[in-house]
Structure 1
Amino acid sequence: MSSLTLPLSEPLPAIDNSSRIPGNKGIWVGIACEFVEFLVLFVVYFVARAHFPESFEAGSEKLSRVAGTVITLLMVTSSFFIACSVVAIRANRRRQSLYWLFAGLVMALGYPVAKYVEIQWNLSHGINGESGIFFTVYYYLTFNHLVHATWGILGILWVMARHLAGGYSAEDYAGLEALASYWHATDIIWLVIFPFFYVLV
């Protein structure tokens, strides 16, 4: 019987996660719905742009590219920090995982703040939802994204509370991974929105 026991000095066999779905199936249903919703909105964007090319060209020049760039940097940095949090918990570094998750939350909270400042700047320059078809589409798409990002921020707060309560470990971190998957998806959508409005590619 003793021959079947692994010596304490030898590492345990690695678990093969190659076929495992990150997070859980429920979050991927939500992500699929999010992608479908924005796919429809992008179709509306291209239809409007095809019919009013001059309005889109002129409208893009009036937006603050600084604001768009700041939001992009906040989203990408937040996603990176949350990914680092997942990597840390996988390595059983719980405290480090919490630090990374908190840093991701701080960056994520910067998004609605930056968006508020941008909207105030827009309004001070006479840019609102009735300023033309470009701005109608712009506000509708970016506000929809902000709603999804707000859900993500609430998700970060929930996961943070569970993490602080010891809800995640190297053996069980599906909730943290599900959050990271959703936040990355929301980040990807913004990376599509940014050039469509601020750079007009």
Structure 2
Amino acid sequence: MTDPDRPGATPTHRTPLPPPRTGGRYRIAVVCLGNICRSPIGQVVLTEHVDRAGLSDRVEVVSAGTGGWHVGHPMDRRAATVLTAHGYDASQHRATQFEATWFDEHDLVLAMDGSNHADLTDVAPGGDVSRLRMFRDFDPRADDGDRDVPDPYFGDEDGFGSVLATVERTAAALVAALEAELGRG
């Protein structure tokens, strides 16, 4: 599949959504390293897009980190600032650590980068990663060498704005895939 907005774009790595596990809500977990920057931005933005699409009664979005250093902490102030500046509510987030049982509890697990993907693969029960995808697998601008959402933690505020732009674009495409899978709200 190519990005129709980019002439000459290379095929993306987008794959179909895993089917829902049950008749309940479709559960999505967005995962990064510490759950204070990228994955909470992903959770907040994706939740807002789900709400706008009228899917909030059928889709739930959570986030977590592969590491436990920040468990219980709010998101990084720079992540909260960029979200707030763009009209999102960043006030409710508290960092959580991903646990292997989440694979059985979620329909889709989205890794923010290759390192997170490898960490999640390592803890997948029985090695079953059929519900694991890269977040940018749904980004119409992702290509073979560009599937990571860059970690802005050690950079300046501009990195958080760039992450937000990537997440917003990807969330819109992901919600379109959810609408196709689950039907419109």
Class of the TM-score when normalised by the shorter of the 2 chains: 0.3 to 0.5
Bigger relative contact order, structure 1 or 2 (CA pairs below 8 A, ≥6 apart): 1
| Greater helix fraction, Structure 1 or Structure 2 | 1
More strand by share: 2
Q: Which has the larger radius of gyration?
A: 1
